[in-house]
Amino acid sequence: MTGSRLLLAGLLALALSGPGGAEPRATRAQPSSFASAFQRGAAWAVGLYIFVPGEEEPRVGAGFLVDDKGSIATAAHLFGAAQQIVVALPDRRLLAGEVEGRDEATDIALLRITPPPRVQPVLAKPGSLQVGDWVLAVGEPFGLEHSVAAGIVSGKDRHFGDDGELMFIQSDVALNPGNSGGPLLDASGAIVGMNARTIVGPVGTPGASLAIPIDIVMQVLGELRRDHPGPARPRLGAQFDDVPPLTAWAAGRRDAQGALILSVPRGSVAEQLRLRAGDIVTMMNGRPILGSADLVHALLAWRRLADTRLVVQRAGKELALSLDEGHD
């Protein structure tokens, strides 16, 4: 991952309001307890025990219900060639789980259990989370059932070059083996994301924990359902990241806006578009691209290859790329 992107410190600002700046704006106080948020959110958190042929011990992970029909979101990397999946519900019932679909590129999987529990999970609204907000992770770290950890949001819309069309909520919540796929909750207990992994420092120091925002999780789950009505979403295939400030400066620019293309695999849609490593994407299908997170949003909204349009900066020139015209 790009070293310059791993900024681990949360940003906490205190703004002044009023003409004289004498009255501080109200800030969110630290809760005296997270018990109510945990009790609410734990109602849809589940533990997963995955039996894989050739492995002596089951893999342990976490997941969470996303509706009242038995649909469970979790991490795709947990399964491999899973032979049996046991789902542990909050009331300690055990049910067999079935993988309905999984997307290795986003590390999101959809499980199904029957009969479905009688709960209706609460999903947070996109954009409701703020830097500095408290969040909770519920999971099975080291097999310790229904464990909870708390922290604050350190960053939003984090994107890394080797994660393709995906972005993350960054927090300082302690995630451990067994947390993968579990829910990240806000201070009310609503689900804001799916816990993915932790970035560990170069000498083993605690790093940043990453969770996939719930709106992206729900979009991918919708695409994985057997009854999904639409065509598969196009995949660009290129690696990209934010434009490093010094790269922009060396190119004679006075801003670091856009998404920098890092690599273009052979045979990818990116190659068909004639993208090149080093291009800076500034617009896609009429949407301004100010950073790599904007390109992720544009790619998630992408539905058809025909009439796809990109605007890029290449060697100091602005170029329009398209699939149907076949030239740059």
Residue 138 domain boundaries? 121-224
Q: Residue 296: is its pLDDT beyond 60? A: yes
Q: Residue 12: is its pLDDT beyond 80? A: no
Told to judge if 180 belongs to the known catalytic residues of this protein, a careful annotator would answer yes
Q: Is 71 inside a domain boundary? A: yes
What is the domain-level CATH number for residue 146?
A: 2.40.10.10
Told to judge if 77 belongs to the known catalytic residues of this protein, a careful annotator would answer yes
Q: Residue 68: is its pLDDT beyond 80? A: yes
Q: What is the mean pLDDT of the chain?
A: 87
Q: Is 231 inside a domain boundary? A: no
Are residues 131 and 106 part of one domain?
no
Residue tagged active-site, from 180, 186, 242, 279 = 180
How confident is the model over 105-115, as a mean pLDDT? 95
Are residues 97 and 131 part of one domain?
no
Are residues 305 and 277 part of one domain?
yes
Are residues 130 and 214 part of one domain?
yes
Least confident of 104-118, 144-158, 216-230: 216-230
Q: Is 33 inside a domain boundary? A: no
Residue tagged active-site, from 71, 107, 147, 163 = 107
Are residues 174 and 207 part of one domain?
yes
Q: Is 285 inside a domain boundary? A: yes
Least confident of 23-37, 143-157, 169-183, 266-280: 23-37
What is the domain-level CATH number for residue 282?
A: 2.30.42.10
Are residues 301 and 264 part of one domain?
yes
Told to judge if 327 belongs to the known catalytic residues of this protein, a careful annotator would answer no
Q: Is 20 inside a domain boundary? A: no
Q: Tell me what pLDDT residue 102 has.
A: 94
Task: Give the count of domains, the chain.
Answer: 3
| Contacting residues for 250 by C-beta, under 8 A, at least 6 apart | none
Whether the CB-CB separation of 193 and 181 falls below 8 Å is answered with no
Q: Which residue has the tokens 């919540």?
A: 173
Q: Is 109 inside a domain boundary? A: yes
Of 87, 113, 139, which residue is a domain's last?
Answer: 113
Dump pLDDT digits (tens) for 264-279.
999 999 999 999 999 9
pLDDT category of residue 251 using cuts at 50, 70 and 90: confident
Q: Residue 326: is its pLDDT beyond 90? A: no
Residue tagged active-site, from 77, 188, 268, 328 = 77
Percent of the chain predicted with pLDDT > 70? 88
Give the 3-state DSSP-derived string for the chain, with helices as H, strands as E and coil as C. Answer: CCHHHCCCCCCCCCCEECCCCCEECCCCCCCCCCHHHHHHHHHHEEEEEEECCCCCCCEEEEEEECCCCCEEEEEHHHCCCCCEEEEECCCCCEEEEEEEEEECCCCEEEEEECCCCCCCCCECCCCCCCCCCEEEEEECHHHCCCEEEEEEEEEEEECCHHHCCCCEEEECCCCCCCCCCCEEEECCCCEEEEEEEEECCCCCCCCEEEEEEHHHHHHHHHHHCCCCCCCCCCCCCCEEEECCHHHHHHCCCCCCCCEEEEECCCCCHHHHCCCCCCCEEEEECCEECCCHHHHHHHHHCCCCCCCCEEEEEECCEEEEEECCCCCC
Q: Tell me what pLDDT residue 32 has.
A: 80
How confident is the model over 106-124, as a mean pLDDT? 95
Are residues 125 and 106 part of one domain?
no
Q: Is 5 inside a domain boundary? A: no
Q: Is 214 inside a domain boundary? A: yes
**pTM assigned to the model:** 0.85
Beta pairing class for 183-186 and 23-24: unpaired
Q: Tell me what pLDDT residue 199 has.
A: 85
Radius of gyration of the chain (CA): 21
Of 113, 140, 155, which residue is a domain's last?
Answer: 113
